[in-house]
Amino acid sequence: MGKTIAEKIFAAHLRDTPTPENMVLDIDVIMCHEITTPIAIMDLVDKDMDRVIDPNRIKAVIDHVTPAKDSKTATQAKIMRDWARRHKIKDFFDVGRNGVCHALFPEKGFIRPGNTVIMGDSHTCTHGAFGAFAAGVGTTDLEVGILKGVCAFRKPKSMKIEVTGTLPIGVYAKDVILKIIKQLTVNGATDMVMEFCGPVVEEMNMSSRMTLCNMSVEAGATSGLCLPDKVTAEYLWPFIQEDYASLEEAVEDFSTWHSDPDAEYAETLTIDVSNLRPQVTYDYKPDKVKDVDELAGARIDQVYIGSCTNGRIEDIRAAASILLGRTIADSVRGILTPATPAIYSQALNEGLIKIFMDAGFCVLNPTCGACLGMSSGVLAEGESCASTTNRNFNGRMGKGGMVHLMSPLCAAAAAVTGEITDPAQFIN
């Protein structure tokens, strides 16, 4: 019987099989941020185990609240900074070089097809876009990862998600994944790896693939995955050109991480996106999703464009295409947070930042910011935000606030009108 890509990665990294249902994997990349790592560091110090398995396998960033907003976040940052220095972790990113982890680390070429990746962050699944097994874990798992380079998992099953048809104009990866989550519900993929495939995914750039994989956890999945191909190899080329004689050779090598034709899936879902409308969430769960038409007219107080889901250059370009020559509604506060310094710089070079500023947006430094309601755009009670992020839980962006998840295009349209709006009318 053939194997899925996930099964191939597991087999290549298997350290132990404590029971037939459980596996302990060797982990290639252990990623750390300042919210979940400091307690792991302090616990290791406390237990006289302040070691790291290999500083080169550890990637660390201060991204959730940065620059520090108060003494507590300053302390968290300091614990990370001191630890990174102490253990000579060279891939550590601090103010000026830092950005949202799941946008920054891919951009640095840290994730390769076939890798295993963990981080104390549920959206670690984003990195599955490179054909890696990337899973969010808690602080204890992270701690063991840092110390021993291993992580235990209950063996996930694979779910094949085939995306077919042609994406209509103005409909994006975000709309596709929201639709999928709606269909699966918030726990429809628990203990599964969602393998995204089909012609629409093959056509997608890495940015869109990351958007898909990013939100797989919102359906409960252990990870999302895309099959590594020419698009992957082109994205990674600056980092792998020493390893391969040609791009074709890299693509060929990556194809060893493809699922076999006779691989078995626990479930298969086929979704034709040819008639897909822009999708928007309502209520407090990411599976509460409707076509934009059904929610059009709902008042919006804030628009947030950023995050590991949709804070990349492609997202900023899409939003700017609507904001060009327009101003946002008086009643709206617009916030743009490019996800990394490179994205910010690129947006400046392309004149996109000016478009946002002329439209009336506030432009912030790369950080998670309002996405988790800790800084830089927290909502007041009763306010609602059109947001390109990935979670709309009650209180997520501030107590009593409502978050409507949507694509960057939809969010830009909402900024212009001050209400949930079908972006079609603004697309030339």
Partner 1 sequence: MKAFGGSAFFIDRDDINTDEIIPAKYLTEITKRALQPHLLEDLFLDGKEFDTQADDFQQASVLVTRSNFGCGSSREHAVWALEVNDINVVLGESFARIFRQNMFNCGILAVELSKADIDKLFALAQGDGAIKIGIELDKDTVVAENGKGEKVECSFSMNPFDKELVAAGGWLAYADQKY
Tokens of 228: 């590594």
Tokens of 344: 């910010």
- Beta-carbon count within 10 A of 121 CB: 25
Strand partners, 212: none
Note whether 259 binds ligand SF4 by CB under 6 A.
Answer: no
Which of 390, 392, 407, 421 is the binder for ligand SF4 (CB under 6 A)? 390
Length of the chain: 428
Comparison of 30 and 150: residue with beta carbon closer to partner 1:
150
Note whether 152 binds partner 1 by CB under 8 A.
Answer: yes
Residue 119 CA to residue 125 CA, distance in Å, equals 9
Which of 248, 293, 399, 427 is the binder for partner 1 (CB under 8 A)? 399
Q: What backbone phi and psi angles, to 5 degrees, belong to 346?
A: -60, -40
Partner from ligand SF4, partner 1, none contacting 101, C-beta within 5 to 8 A by type: ligand SF4
Note whether 101 binds ligand SF4 by CB under 6 A.
Answer: yes
Residue 411 CA to residue 386 CA, distance in Å, equals 6
Comparison of 167 and 308: residue with beta carbon closer to ligand SF4:
308
Note whether 60 binds ligand SF4 by CB under 6 A.
Answer: no
Which of 7, 91, 121, 315 is the binder for partner 1 (CB under 8 A)? 121
Q: What backbone phi and psi angles, to 5 degrees, belong to 275?
A: -110, 20
Residue 208 CA to residue 215 CA, distance in Å, equals 11
Q: How far is the CB of 49 from ligand SF4 (least distance, A)?
A: 27
Note whether 121 binds ligand SF4 by CB under 6 A.
Answer: yes
CA 214 vs. chain centroid, Å, equals: 4
Partner from ligand SF4, partner 1, none contacting 238, C-beta within 5 to 8 A by type: none
The SS3 assignment for 334 reads strand
Query: Hey, what amino acid is at 331?
Result: S
Q: Are 126 and 132 in contact (CB under 8 A)?
A: no
The DSSP string of 105-126 is HHHTT---TT-EEEESSGGGGG
* Residue numbers 254-313 binding partner 1 by CB under 8 A: 284-285
Contact letters (x/-) for partner 1, 184-213, by CB under 8 A? --xx--xx----------------------
Residues contributing to the site for partner 1 (CB under 8 A): 15-16, 18-19, 21-22, 24, 35-36, 38-39, 42-43, 47, 49, 64-65, 70, 72-73, 75-76, 79, 120-122, 124, 136-141, 143-144, 147-148, 150, 152, 154, 186-187, 190-191, 220, 222, 284-285, 372-374, 391, 393-396, 399
